[in-house]
Structure 1
């Protein structure tokens, strides 16, 4: 995994970064104070566009903002995931005592924090391009600034569980990412990849970010995973469902979209599609109006796909 230099880990006060030679993380020694200063600058030198804040490290690789507005949206979505799974954090059958767990694209770190609290047996690592995670975390959790799309430097076959959630728009080569995950999972270890689709409409940005569950299953199978399982959940957008549980999910999900859609659209529409800001603002206004109309039964879908690394290599005869 490509880290900044040989790798940096956020210190406990998350305002400094240190070069870390901990063998458990497979990091080497840094090249001195001047390099560390430069690395810190690249991490915290955020970019600002259209009034929104974006990551400075690997600028442009992640399309969505990392400012407070977007972080609040991520935590809202985490709450919807909890409602969807009745408080569970994952679906993969990883067992009760995982030892090493990796959360790729940890974002605000909320999933990793809750996982570390629930599984004190586990050493949990959360990685992200942005240092936006809190400093007060469980002792068995550490956050690292990292680009999971580069070569991984962790010890091979060292993780029990690798968790990936909401990374659409951040990964250019999914088969390569799953291949790295396969190589770094212990035999019998599990991967879970979770993504959400856009609003069910003809909007361009929704089409661009959708990866179907069939694609995920195919990529996981191509990487060597077995026992691949897919589960889909529909999330209403708004409180239009008669079912009380879905009505609650829908109410939160409308807030999720209203909080997040500006950030989801700006870079994609202006940098990728070449739209002018006025056109983006017009589309956002139309979407907000649509989401608030009582007669519109909008929804989106989240897809969980998980698979297992085989426990032992199968011989050519077998």
Structure 2
């Protein structure tokens, strides 16, 4: 008898009946999953979610037509889930564990800021608010509760926001670094928080924000400078925590992002035409070393956020930017995790709150 060829091109693939019971069960499961994915991959009419006349980018048409592949789907890397739309633009996960950490970060910042969601003097009745990089949408939703008469639009690369939101709050999947096509002079207030890890071209974004604010409108950024320091010299330069962040910074730099941009944001606002630019700096303790009760609680939150975030913070910059393997990252993080528990280190990071106003008159649009 002629021996059976090993070439897949000469031998027909096995039929379902040729499979073992275990193989049939696996095939059934795969077919069920595929059918469910096909059912989920439906196009969504964005007409309800983009009725706000003030924000839209050139990506919206393509996003609406290819939703099944670029918006509702996700990509997975090193065991974590990442956004699929504009894949690679943001180097950190968006899975449920990371969402919990982001919500904890929100609570930490609000407590540090004395319960305030913003510092820009936007009055009691702002009409149109944009939240860039809204994440889980928690800030936008709380602003919707605080200003029930406002239209609040939250924009992010990931569709991870809840469906049930306050009236007037809407979420869109989009990239704020794309061209904004909607009318100029629309928003009363534009807000961004924790965006320094995501924005590559700050001057360009500043110009777009300026153009789309109403005359007299406000722009506010709340950004942490992820460079741990100590006021009493208790954290040596070779401590694993600052070394960890130096590597994160180097990895992001290789990917076109500048963690130190936070130090220049106020100057960039002024160069973009904003006036009345003010900076407030709040120091976030790492750990419970402060004597002040509020700062002690904030420090506990922040250390928990940083320790729980070691892997999601490091994986993208280290593997994508520095070429490390996941195994190398895991080994290094054991040392860093232990170092965060050093009670003798009195470390903190500064939170910069920067507000700027578009002039009422006399400044030409930059579009």
Q: Please give the TM-score of this superposition, normalised by the length of structure 2.
A: 0.77
Give, in whole Å, the separation in 2 of the partners of 1:124 and 1:150: 20
* Contact 1:290 1:296 (C-alpha < 8 Å) held by counterparts: no
Change (3 A) 1:59 1:31: closer
Give, in whole Å, the separation in 1 of the partners of 2:60 and 2:179: 20
Change (3 A) 1:212 1:107: same
Give, in whole Å, the separation in 1 of the partners of 2:294 and 2:55: 44
Give, in whole Å, the separation in 2 of the partners of 1:232 and 1:25: 31
* Contact 2:215 2:358 (C-alpha < 8 Å) held by counterparts: yes
Change (3 A) 1:282 1:160: same
Task: Describe the SS at the equivalent of 1:232.
Answer: strand
Task: Describe the SS at the equivalent of 1:24.
Answer: coil
1:170 pairs, out of 186, 189, 198, with 198
1:314: Cα distance to partner?
6.0
Change (3 A) 1:189 1:25: closer
Matched, 1:286 2:335: yes
Matching residue of 1:205: 247
* Contact 1:17 1:40 (C-alpha < 8 Å) held by counterparts: no
Give, in whole Å, the separation in 1 of the partners of 2:210 and 2:181: 14
Larger radius of gyration: 2
Matching residue of 1:246: 295
Q: Which has the higher strand share?
A: 1
Give, in whole Å, the separation in 2 of the partners of 1:26 and 1:304: 24
Give, in whole Å, the separation in 2 of the partners of 1:88 and 1:35: 34
Which runs of structure 2 are paired with 1:126-275 in the superposition (5 Å)? 126-200=154-228, 201-203=242-244, 204-208=246-250, 209-275=258-324
1:19: Cα distance to partner?
3.2
* Contact 1:291 1:298 (C-alpha < 8 Å) held by counterparts: no
Q: Please give the TM-score of this superposition, normalised by the length of structure 1.
A: 0.88
Matched, 1:76 2:104: yes
Runs of 5+ in structure 2 lacking a partner? Answer: 1-41, 229-241, 251-257
* Contact 1:73 1:256 (C-alpha < 8 Å) held by counterparts: yes
1:298 pairs, out of 326, 344, 347, with 347
Residues 278-316 of structure 1 show CA distances to partners (whole Å, capped at 9, x for unaligned) of 32112211111011121122222211111000011169x
Give, in whole Å, the separation in 2 of the partners of 1:285 and 1:135: 38
Runs of 5+ in structure 1 lacking a partner? Answer: 1-14
Task: Describe the SS at the equivalent of 2:289.
Answer: coil
Change (3 A) 1:35 1:48: closer
Residues 213-234 of structure 1 show CA distances to partners (whole Å, capped at 9, x for unaligned) of 5410121111110110011111
* Contact 2:310 2:337 (C-alpha < 8 Å) held by counterparts: no
Give, in whole Å, the separation in 2 of the partners of 1:27 and 1:92: 24
1:118 pairs, out of 138, 141, 146, with 146
Matched, 1:17 2:44: yes
* Contact 1:232 1:301 (C-alpha < 8 Å) held by counterparts: yes
Matching residue of 1:59: 87
Cα root mean square deviation, aligned: 2.3
